Amino acid sequence: MLRVVESSEIDLNFKFEVAKTREGKTVLGCIQCGVCSSSCPFSEELDVKPHKVVRMVILGLRKEVLSCKEIWTCAMCYMCAERCPHGVELGNVMMALANVAARERALPSGLGETGRVLLKEGRVPEIGRMRVRERERIGLPPVLTPNIGQIKRLLEETGVSELVVEEGGK
């Protein structure tokens, strides 16, 4: 779908910001051949094909890129990188974009809830009573209780806990 882009929506430094990251360092080598999109096992399910995501980065469409679900759906299979004639490591570029989005709190819905469960329970998914009973029924040992204090400390040290919206917050 085509739309008119206002100049105020363009961030001319966005491509350089991505290219300066360890993961995104190859992004500027993209020649828009589309090999990455034709190599992607999920391409048919994506609204925005991988080479188009890179094109939006190059054009400086920061807001569109960071709100794009495709940066979160990369399977990191590296089929795109294996076939890219210019060595663009698109899986790594997608990781760089997800990292930028996370820093700017542009997380997809559901990710915050997953983080809250991890902080509360120490694992994802939650181990519910039904699962505990099923484990007992088939003779499995009880699930070990994770050290939530250590998990919280690790998430705080890495900055991940800051990305998780507290319950009732926004």
Mean pLDDT of 106-111: 78
Q: Give, rounded to a whole angstrom, the gap between the first and last alpha carbons of the chain.
A: 31
Asked if pLDDT for residue 101 goes beyond 60, the answer is yes
Number of CB atoms found within 10 A of residue 51's CB: 23
Asked if pLDDT for residue 40 goes beyond 90, the answer is yes
Mean pLDDT of 88-101: 94
d(CA 125, CA 140): 18
pLDDT band at 170 (very low <50, low <70, confident <90, very high): very low
d(CA 111, CA 118): 11
Domain boundaries, the chain: 9-103, 111-163
User: Is the domain 9-103 a CATH 1.10.1060.10 member?
Assistant: yes
> Quick one: tokens of 83?
């076939």
d(CA 170, CA 165): 6
Mean pLDDT of 35-50: 93
d(CA 152, CA 57): 34
Contact 67, 100 (CB under 8 A): no
